[in-house]
């Protein structure tokens, strides 16, 4: 079933809520819709301070998205070591990093053509 713009916006809202509930840091949304041959419409990127917090962020996102939309990620990988967990919700791909791994891979730099929105966190 194809997702609509409204459902993508709702999904992003619930993902952000999941990140914020467990104090995920440095949240960025990359809008990839104007870039050719992308795998999805949006990347949401954030980081945690430890592998425990990275897994807590992932679990929080899954719980809130599932509760609100009855949707599950198509694929999740990286939970074993929890340095970089990727959650694929088809139109939205979430990257949850530990800070040093995020800096090393610099996803925002690789996708420099994307429109980026930074979400303020406490």
The DSSP string of 75-93 is: EEE-TTT-SEEEEE-SSEE
Contact 32, 118 (CB under 8 A): no
Q: Does domain 5-119 have CATH number 3.30.460.10?
A: yes
**What is the pLDDT, as a whole number, of residue 99?**
96
- The per-residue pLDDT for range 16-69, each reduced to its tens digit, is 999 999 999 999 999 999 999 999 999 999 999 999 999 999 999 999 999 999
CA dihedral sign, ordered 18, 62, 75, 98: positive
């Amino acid at each position: 079933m194809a997702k609509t713009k409204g459902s993508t916006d709702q999904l992003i809202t619930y993902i952000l809520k999941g990140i914020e509930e467990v104090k995920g840091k440095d949240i960025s949304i990359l809008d990839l819709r104007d870039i050719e041959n992308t795998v999805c419409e949006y990347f949401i990127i954030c980081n945690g301070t430890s592998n425990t917090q990275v897994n807590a962020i992932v679990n929080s996102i899954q719980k809130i998205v599932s509760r609100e939309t009855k949707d599950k990620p198509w694929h999740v990988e990286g939970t074993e070591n929890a340095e970089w967990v990727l959650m694929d919700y088809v139109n939205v791909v979430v990257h949850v990093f530990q800070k040093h791994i995020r800096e090393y891979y610099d996803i925002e730099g690789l996708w420099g053509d994307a429109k980026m929105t930074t979400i303020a966190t406490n």
